[in-house]
Amino acid sequence: MDKNSVYGRTNAIIKKYDVRPTKRFGQNFLVDENILRGIITASGITKDDLVLEIGPGIGNLTSVLCENSREVCAVEIDKKLIPVLEESLKEYGNLTIINGDILKTDISALVNEKNGGNPLKVVANLPYYITTPIIMGLLTTKAPIKSLTVMVQKEVADRMISLPGKKTYGALSLAVQYYAEAENVLDVPPSSFIPNPKVSSAVMHLKVREKPPVQTKDEAFMFAVIRASFNQRRKTLVNGLKNASLPGCTGEAVPEALNKLGMSPTIRGEQLSLEEFARLADLLKL
C-alpha cells in the first residue's frame, strides 16, 4: 500500500458509503502510508499479539493491524461506520468489530475471552475530544495492558512527557510517568488526515510499567492531591489543596507537611516531582 492507495481507498469508501466524517466523534481518517507504517513499528506488535483498536473509523489502520497481529478487536462508537467496516474489511478473519463506547467497554472481559487473560496491546488514532479520559481510563484500569501506541494532539503529547517547572506539566504528565514509560515517536502534520485537523499530532508509545517508579501509601489519595494541586494553577499548592477539601489537607496540615519536606509554603504544584508528590501525600494521609 503506498500513500496514494490509502488516500484512494479513503476517498473511494467515503464516496461509496456517503461517509460524512463527523466532528462530534472526532473523525479524522489517517491517509499517510508512512505514518501507518510508523505506528506499526512503534507498537512492536507481532503475530502473537491481541490488539485493541479504539475508533477504527473506516479501517485504514485496522487493515494494517490485522496484517501484523494475531487478532484485532476494534471498538467503534459510530454505528453508521459498522457496515462500512464489516464490508470493506471482510477479508480479515482475525478481526472482531464491536459497536460501542470505549469508555464503557469491559477490557478485562475482552482479555479473558480473547487472550486467556494475557495482556493486550492498544493501538489507536484517538478521537481528540476525549483523548485524556481514554488514556487515563486505560492507564488506571485493572485490565492487563502491555502498551499503548496512540495518535494524540501534539499539545497532549507534550503534556504527557512534560517535566516539573514547564507550562505543560500537570496531572496528566504525573499519571503517565507513574503508570508508563512514555516516548514521542513521530510528529504528524494535519495533511496526513482526511479531513485535515486544525492541530498537529504525534504518535506516543507508552510501555505500561509492571511496578510504579515511586511508592505511596494510597495511590488514589496521591492522585487526588495531585489533581487538587493543579486545579487552580495560579494559586499556591496550599490554597489549591485547602479549596479541594480533601481529608487531612487543612490550612495547617499542608504547610506543616511542606515544611517537613523542606519546601516553601508558597510553592506551586508545577514545581513538585512525582517522588515529592508521593512524599507529600504520605505525610498528609490520615
The minimum distance between CB 8 and ligand SAM, in angstroms, equals 14
Output the nine-digit C-alpha cell for 95.
478481526
Measured CA to CA in angstroms, residue 274 lies from 152, 218, 229, 262 at distances of 23, 14, 12, 16
Beta strand pairing call for 71-76 and 95-99: parallel
Query: Helix, strand or coil for residue 95?
Result: strand
Residue 127 vs 269, nearer CB to ligand SAM: 127
Residue 101 vs 275, nearer CB to ligand SAM: 101
| Angle (nearest 5°) at CA 230 between 229 and 236 | 60
Beta strand pairing call for 71-76 and 50-54: parallel
The minimum distance between CB 36 and ligand SAM, in angstroms, equals 8
Going by C-alpha positions, the residue among 198, 142, 209, 129 that lies closest to residue 175 is: 209
The minimum distance between CB 54 and ligand SAM, in angstroms, equals 5
Residue 63 vs 216, nearer CB to ligand SAM: 63
The minimum distance between CB 31 and ligand SAM, in angstroms, equals 7
Q: Could you tell me the end-to-end alpha-carbon distance of the chain, in angstroms, rounded to an integer?
A: 59
The minimum distance between CB 58 and ligand SAM, in angstroms, equals 6
Which of the 8 DSSP states describes residue 195?
S
Residue 82 vs 263, nearer CB to ligand SAM: 82
Residue whose Cβ sits closest to ligand SAM: 55
CA–CA separation, 97 vs 95, rounded Å?
6
Residue 60 vs 69, nearer CB to ligand SAM: 60
Residue 65 vs 237, nearer CB to ligand SAM: 65
Residues that bind ligand SAM (CB under 6 A): 25-30, 54-57, 60-61, 75-78, 101-103, 125, 127, 130
The minimum distance between CB 242 and ligand SAM, in angstroms, equals 35
Amino acid (1-letter code) at residue 39: I
